[in-house]
């Protein structure tokens, strides 16, 4: 049996007036996914436990088979594992975004314009993070900054604390920075670095070059997502599969690495709507050909479009996933002669209305080649969308859905 979990990040949404009461999933043309839905099963799943922040960390832990209430320690330590940082048990990792702030005179009055600094390239970001580390890194390596991917980077604090109130920048777009600065006992050093980073980065040669090319400057760091290294169970032991993750996002790679599966890097995989779809598809097929049983493929595009508040971008991202990922992968799996199961599920909602994550249940599609209804028995009322999913199965926890997907009895 071959297994594929496909995660269109942030695809879940709300009915929109401009779509005549449909959601983006329902408005997008998804013939390949909807064929699987019509011949398989649909439903809704709560990927973010009630009371927990609706982040990609909690949601993807859940979809990958882990109870976030038990395993979640913070977002950044998962990303640190992907970067290759060897954390001690007493280390605390923080996510360090490169962001774009407005040019108001006082730092407090600056608006958070872009949580990704225009999806800055990793090469440019590396120069900026090196400058940040030279300025704020501790000579005794108590505080160190590490380059990740694009705008996503890491700060490690030796023997650090975690009891700070830190806000993700994608939650406060177009809002005043001063209202969301670090809070909590001892958080002053984080706030000070964020404030001082503006004068360090605003006129850095990288940003001068970006402005000259009409691009957004990465003129501040924004620190959040603190946590210690978690201990995840092995997916190979739990589900008896040889698996791999395919994603441009360090968070997903890190969860996979800590869960004992391989992380596959695809050239041109950007985490945006313009990612290398064909490269990701080829990588998945090659893994199956090499004897892997399980691929967890994550596509960030719909989420990034939602953060930008761009409806057409989100629909286009979904349609590209259907045409350039799902169609060729299903064709390969059907021609392989081996039984296979596919689960297509967003990690969480990212409603265009609020431009950030939400914790409401999301729809899923499940297809089992051995149990699929024939073409004549297909039910067109089953499709990949919220209104269809609400009439199907319901899982109160993502990890319970994943156990069911692998045919494993929930503990």
Confidence (pLDDT) at 13: 98
pLDDT tens for 206-260 read 999 999 999 999 999 999 999 999 999 999 999 999 999 999 998 999 999 999 9
Instruction: Give all domains of the chain, ordered by start, each with its CATH number.
Output: 2-72+230-405 (3.40.720.10), 82-227 (no CATH)
- pTM of the full structure: 0.84
Confidence (pLDDT) at 376: 80
In this prediction, the residues of the chain whose per-residue pLDDT falls under 50 are: 410-411
How far apart (Å, rounded) are the C-alpha atoms in residues 90 and 81? Answer: 15
Alpha helices per DSSP H over 64-113: 68-71, 76-83
How far apart (Å, rounded) are the C-alpha atoms in residues 383 and 385? Answer: 6
Confidence (pLDDT) at 138: 86
Confidence (pLDDT) at 122: 94
Residues 6+ apart with CB under 8 A from 55: 48, 75, 168, 225, 348, 357
Confidence (pLDDT) at 410: 46
DSSP state of 74: -
Q: Within 13 Å, how many C-alpha atoms sit on residue 288's CB side?
A: 25
Confidence (pLDDT) at 409: 60
How far apart (Å, rounded) are the C-alpha atoms in residues 228 and 181? Answer: 21
pLDDT tens for 384-393 read 999 999 999 9
């Amino acid at each position: 049996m071959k297994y594929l979990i496909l995660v269109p990040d942030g695809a879940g949404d709300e009915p929109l007036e401009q779509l005549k009461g449909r959601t983006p999933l329902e408005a997008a043309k998804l013939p390949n996914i909807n064929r699987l839905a019509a011949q398989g099963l649909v439903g809704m799943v709560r990927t973010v436990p009630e009371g927990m922040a609706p982040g990609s960390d909690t949601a993807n832990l859940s979809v990958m088979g882990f109870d976030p209430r038990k395993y979640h320690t913070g977002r950044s330590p998962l990303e640190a594992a992907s970067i290759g940082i060897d954390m001690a048990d007493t280390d605390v990792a923080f996510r360090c975004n490169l962001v774009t702030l407005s040019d108001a005179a006082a730092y407090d009055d600056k608006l958070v314009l872009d949580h990704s600094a225009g999806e800055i390239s990793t090469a440019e970001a590396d120069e900026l993070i090196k400058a940040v580390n030279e300025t704020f890194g501790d000579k005794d390596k108590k505080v160190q900054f590490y380059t990740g991917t694009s705008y996503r980077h890491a700060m490690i604090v030796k023997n650090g604390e975690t009891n700070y109130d830190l806000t993700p920048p994608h939650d406060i777009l177009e809002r005043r920075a001063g209202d969301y600065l670090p809070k909590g006992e001892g958080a002053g050093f984080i706030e000070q670095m964020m404030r001082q980073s503006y004068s360090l980065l605003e006129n850095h040669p990288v940003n001068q070059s970006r402005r000259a090319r009409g691009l957004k400057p990465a003129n501040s760091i924004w620190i959040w997502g603190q946590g210690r290294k978690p201990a995840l169970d092995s997916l190979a032991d739990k589900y008896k599969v040889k698996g791999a993750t395919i994603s441009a996002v360090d968070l997903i790679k890190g969860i996979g690495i800590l869960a004992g599966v391989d992380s596959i890097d695809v050239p041109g995989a950007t985490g945006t709507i313009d990612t290398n779809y064909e490269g990701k598809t080829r990588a998945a097929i090659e893994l199956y050909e090499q004897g892997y049983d399980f691929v967890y493929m994550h596509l960030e595009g719909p989420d990034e479009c939602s953060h930008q508040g761009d409806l057409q971008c989100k629909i286009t991202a979904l349609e590209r996933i259907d045409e350039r990922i799902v169609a060729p992968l299903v064709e390969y799996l059907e021609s392989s002669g081996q039984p296979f199961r596919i689960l297509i599920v967003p990690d969480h909602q990212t409603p265009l209305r609020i431009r950030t994550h939400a914790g409401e249940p999301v729809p899923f599609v499940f297809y089992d080649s051995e149990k699929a209804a024939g073409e004549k028995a297909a039910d067109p009322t089953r499709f990949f969308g919220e209104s269809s999913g609400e009439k199907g199965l319901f899982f109160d926890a993502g990890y319970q859905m994943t156990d069911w997907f692998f045919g494993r009895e929930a503990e």
